């Protein structure tokens, strides 16, 4: 199964949503303390499958990734409750909104967004890779659309629902987003 996922993450149109993104997310998961073995396993599944289907011309990638995860995990004889939880978590990565008390959702969304709070040079590589994935979009349209997406992140009280991720990444994420918006608007 992991070979099929690795092949998906190696698709040529992926510049950011590739195996390096998955490895970075798994690295964030590894650093987390206080998780049970089951929680860690669920988050690992969700990380592996959350961008398994990625076509920047479509708006249903998360849904398709969740469906694929449910199918693949069933083939691996993963119990139905775990499959359902993994699919639910994957769907959260569409808009990154997490209900209060959703510990695993809070962690997955924070892990997925961790790139936003990385040092400026690393963030700039990410921003360029996202532009590469949207190369089919004319520059003026991309600038307008991307700036709108980034403004939505800046408009929320906290980008990271998990307090520890917020402590580590929030300030740098806001600086990175503001810097990219300024660059998009020039």
How do residues 73-82 score in pLDDT, each as one tens digit? 999 999 999 9
Residue 3: pLDDT over 90: no
How do residues 37-80 score in pLDDT, each as one tens digit? 999 999 999 999 999 999 999 999 999 999 999 999 999 999 99
How do residues 5-33 score in pLDDT, each as one tens digit? 999 999 999 999 999 999 999 999 999 99
> CA triplet 143, 149, 151: central angle to 5 degrees?
95
Report whether 111 contacts 43 (CB < 8 A). yes
Collapsing DSSP to helix, strand or coil, 84 comes out as helix
Distance (Å, rounded) from C-alpha 53 to C-alpha 61?
A: 5
Instruction: Write down the domain spans for the chain.
Output: 1-98, 113-186
Q: Left, alpha or beta for 78 (phi > 0: left; psi -120 to 50: alpha)? A: beta
Report whether 105 contacts 92 (CB < 8 A). yes
**Residue-level pLDDT at 101:** 96
Distance (Å, rounded) from C-alpha 18 to C-alpha 13?
A: 9
């Amino acid at each position: 199964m992991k070979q099929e996922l690795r092949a998906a993450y190696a698709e040529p149109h992926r510049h950011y949503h590739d195996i390096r993104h998955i490895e970075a997310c798994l690295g964030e998961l590894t650093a987390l303390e206080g998780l049970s073995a089951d929680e860690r396993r669920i988050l690992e599944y969700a990380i592996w499958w959350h961008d398994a289907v990625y076509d920047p011309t479509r708006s249903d990638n998360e849904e398709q990734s969740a469906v694929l995860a449910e199918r693949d995990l069933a083939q691996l004889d993963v119990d139905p409750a775990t499959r359902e939880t993994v699919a639910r978590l994957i769907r959260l990565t569409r808009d990154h909104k997490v209900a209060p008390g959703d510990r695993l959702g809070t962690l997955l969304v924070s892990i997925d967004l961790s790139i936003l709070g990385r040092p400026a040079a690393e963030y700039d590589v990410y921003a360029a890779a996202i532009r590469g994935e949207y190369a089919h979009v004319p520059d003026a349209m991309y600038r307008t659309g991307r700036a709108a997406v980034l403004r939505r992140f800046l408009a929320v009280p906290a980008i990271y629902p998990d307090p520890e991720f917020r402590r580590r990444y929030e300030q740098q994420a806001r600086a990175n987003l503001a810097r990219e918006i300024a660059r998009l608007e020039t």
